[in-house]
C-alpha cells in the first residue's frame, strides 16, 4: 500500500466519521415537544365567530400574561429532552471518533511496518553477501590473493591490504 492509497483510505475514513456524526447526532438531539396543553383553554372558541373588539383584546391580554409561563414550560421540556439524549450522543460521538482513529492508526502503522521489514531484508541481504565474499577471500591462498589484487587494480605491495574482510573483501 503506497502513501497515496493510505491518504485516500484515511480521507474516506474521516469523511465517513463526519458523515456519521452529521447524521446521527441531529437525530438524537431532535426534540418532540408537545405545546398543545400549555395554552389557556378559553382561547379555543374565538375562531369563526363574530365577536367584539373587547373580547379579542381580553384574549390577547390573557395570552400575553400566560406567555412567560408557557415559554418557561416549553424550555423546561426541551431541556429535559436534550439532557436525556445528550449522554447517548456523546457516547456515539466518542465511539465513532475512536473507531476512525483506530482505523487510521492501523493504516499508518502498517506503512511503518512495511518500510522496516524492507530495510531489515536489505540489511540481511547485504550481510549475507558480505559474509559470502569474506569466506571466498579467506579461502584463497596467497598467490590467488595476489592475482585478485592485481585484477582489482590494487598494488600488490600495499600494506593496507589485509585478509578477513578488513576493507570489505
Averaged pLDDT, 59-69: 81
Residue 41 has pLDDT above 70, yes or no: no
pLDDT value of residue 36: 66
CB–CB of 137/162 below 8 Å?
no
From the CB of residue 12, how many other CB atoms can be counted at a distance below 10 Å? 11
**Phi and psi at residue 141, in whole multiples of 5°?**
-85, 180
Question: To the nearest whole percent, how much of the chain has pLDDT over 70?
Answer: 77
Task: Give the C-alpha separation, 80 to 67, whole Å.
Answer: 20
Whether residue 159 is predicted with pLDDT greater than 60 in this model: the reply is no
pTM: 0.46
DSSP 168: -
φ/ψ of 133, rounded to 5, equals -65, -45
Amino acid at each position: 500500500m503506497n502513501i497515496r492509497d493510505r491518504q485516500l483510505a484515511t480521507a474516506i475514513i474521516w469523511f465517513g466519521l463526519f458523515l456519521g456524526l452529521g447524521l446521527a447526532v441531529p437525530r438524537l438531539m431532535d426534540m418532540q415537544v408537545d405545546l398543545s396543553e400549555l395554552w389557556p383553554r378559553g382561547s379555543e372558541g374565538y375562531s369563526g365567530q363574530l365577536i367584539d373588539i373587547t373580547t379579542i383584546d381580553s384574549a390577547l391580554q390573557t395570552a400575553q400574561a400566560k406567555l412567560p409561563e408557557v415559554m418557561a414550560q416549553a424550555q423546561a421540556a426541551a431541556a429535559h429532552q436534550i439532557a436525556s439524549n445528550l449522554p447517548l450522543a456523546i457516547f456515539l460521538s466518542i465511539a465513532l471518533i475512536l473507531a476512525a482513529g483506530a482505523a487510521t492508526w492501523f493504516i499508518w502503522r502498517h506503512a511503518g511496518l512495511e518500510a522496516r521489514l524492507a530495510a531489515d531484508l536489505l540489511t540481511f541481504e547485504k550481510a549475507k553477501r558480505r559474509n559470502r565474499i569474506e569466506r571466498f577471500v579467506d579461502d584463497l591462498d596467497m598467490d590467488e590473493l595476489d592475482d585478485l589484487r592485481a585484477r582489482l587494480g590494487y598494488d600488490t605491495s600495499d600494506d593496507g591490504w589485509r585478509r578477513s574482510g578488513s576493507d570489505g573483501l
